[in-house]
């Protein structure tokens, strides 16, 4: 009773992604970053930000509104701040350059802040938090995004579903903190997937183009997704737009172009990264010990009947990645067909998928 889903090895999808981006003129190193960012999202269960988006990124590259070979400028302004001009490059390529600079400053001075302008959709925010965690640094990763969500009190799309993402290195037990949450009730990508599948969405997720509540995924995609917790989610998304857009020099206030619908100009997405050493106030060993105490105490709490285990933010995604490295990454028929068409057009061998989980 197959629904047409096929499972692929992560390495195979990664190879496909690299080949497709290289075929559009993206240098191999940059194509590897872009592909890794997408496959990493799939591995972590964030399929809305995974390889299913490859076709739209290729289309942006072909249009010239996203550049395969951008002239990315990284300018260190002070010992703690740097400005990146992404020159309309692929978001993960621009952002990985920016995060590397942010990490370097934090290592040197204890803290670093990077503003990024003229970027494009950077994919899963957690991808950059993971880079900071790899360097043993606390991080904030903020971005704005094309409008899809109203400011509180409004019915017009104005804010992106701007993610709030942050990380804190773990203790000796190796359990870090990683939060990557849309400031909307739900990630817009989930509504997009529902629309593609012709599925209904829960009430309270979105307004249709008429400003009235809807449970139709397609109507919701033409309307707006609602901010989480009313004015609170709206307030957080505004902050992401002020730091990621107003302050960096990128587009803001609903003027970030949609990668899907705007073909007259580059996106000019803005990002804001902050990295910080976790041992600013005590030796690293003491910090690590305290992180372990936190995790141990939290996991020992009494649970609700439907909760098998209390998890740290980021832990569900880490487990999903371990699982999908075994089972492979499932792809549904629609994105699969779009990827296969791209592969065929580029004379690239489509990797073999299996109708059941691997391993």
Nearest CB to its own copies, comparing residues 189 and 330: 189
Instruction: Report helix angle 333-345 to 54-63, nearest 10.
Output: 40
Torsion of CA 238, 239, 242, 248, to 10 degrees: -140
How many Cα atoms occupy the beta-carbon half-sphere of 117 within 13 Å? 14
The string of DSSP letters for 208-262 reads: -TTSSEE-BHHHHHHSEEPBTTTHHHHHHHHHHHIIIIITTTS--TT-SPPTTT-
- Lookup result for tokens 């701007």: 162
- What tokens appear for 37 in the block? 């960012």
Nearest CB to its own copies, comparing residues 279 and 321: 279
The string of DSSP letters for 54-73 reads: HHHHHHHHHHTSSBSS---E
Nearest CB to its own copies, comparing residues 8 and 252: 252
Give the nearest distance from C-beta 312 to its own copies in angstroms: 8
Give the nearest distance from C-beta 78 to its own copies in angstroms: 5
Nearest CB to its own copies, comparing residues 92 and 278: 278
Give the nearest distance from C-beta 101 to its own copies in angstroms: 13
Nearest CB to its own copies, comparing residues 35 and 146: 146
Give the nearest distance from C-beta 143 to its own copies in angstroms: 15
The whole-angstrom separation of Cα 106 and Cα 208 is 44
Backbone angles phi, psi at 30, to 5 degrees: -70, -40
Give the nearest distance from C-beta 44 to its own copies in angstroms: 15
Q: 26 vs 11, 20, 197, CA distance in Å? A: 19, 9, 31
The whole-angstrom separation of Cα 355 and Cα 300 is 40
Nearest CB to its own copies, comparing residues 28 and 202: 202
- What tokens appear for 357 in the block? 């989980």
Give the nearest distance from C-beta 308 to its own copies in angstroms: 8
Nearest CB to its own copies, comparing residues 6 and 276: 276
Give the nearest distance from C-beta 304 to its own copies in angstroms: 6
Nearest CB to its own copies, comparing residues 113 and 191: 113
Find the radius of gyration of the CA atoms of the chain: 20
Give the nearest distance from C-beta 202 to its own copies in angstroms: 13
């Amino acid at each position: 009773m197959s629904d047409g889903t096929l499972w692929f090895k992560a390495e195979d999808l990664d190879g496909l992604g690299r080949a497709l981006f290289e075929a559009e003129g993206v240098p191999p190193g940059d194509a590897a970053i872009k592909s890794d960012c997408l496959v990493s999202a799939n591995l972590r269960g964030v399929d809305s930000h995974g390889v299913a988006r490859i076709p739209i990124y290729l289309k942006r590259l072909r249009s010239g509104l996203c550049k395969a070979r951008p002239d990315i400028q990284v300018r260190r302004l002070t010992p703690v701040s740097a400005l990146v001009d992404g020159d309309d490059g692929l978001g993960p390529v621009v952002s990985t350059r920016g995060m590397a600079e942010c990490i370097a400053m934090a290592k040197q001075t204890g803290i670093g802040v990077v503003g990024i302008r003229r970027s494009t959709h950077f994919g899963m925010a957690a991808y950059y938090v993971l880079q900071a965690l790899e360097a043993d640094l606390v991080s904030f990763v903020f971005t704005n995004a094309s409008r899809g969500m109203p400011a509180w009190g409004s019915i017009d799309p104005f804010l992106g579903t701007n993610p709030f993402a942050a990380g804190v290195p773990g203790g000796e037990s190796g359990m870090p903190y990683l939060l990557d949450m849309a400031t909307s009730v739900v990630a817009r990508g989930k509504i997009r997937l529902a629309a593609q599948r012709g599925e209904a969405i829960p009430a309270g997720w979105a307004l249709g183009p008429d400003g009235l509540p809807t449970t139709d995924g397609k109507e919701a995609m033409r309307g707006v997704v609602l901010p989480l917790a009313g004015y609170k989610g709206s307030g957080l998304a505004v902050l992401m737009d002020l730091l990621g857009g107003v302050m960096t020099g990128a587009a803001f206030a609903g003027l970030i172009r949609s990668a899907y619908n705007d073909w007259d100009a580059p996106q000019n997405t803005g990002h804001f990264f902050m990295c910080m050493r976790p041992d600013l106030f005590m030796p690293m060993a003491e910090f690590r010990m305290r992180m372990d105490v936190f995790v141990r105490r939290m996991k020992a709490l009494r649970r609700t009947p439907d909760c098998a285990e209390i998890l740290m933010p980021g832990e569900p995604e880490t487990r999903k990645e371990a699982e999908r490295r075994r089972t492979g990454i499932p792809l549904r028929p629609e994105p699969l067909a779009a990827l296969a068409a791209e592969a065929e057009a580029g004379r690239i061998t489509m990797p073999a998928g299996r109708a059941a989980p691997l391993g």
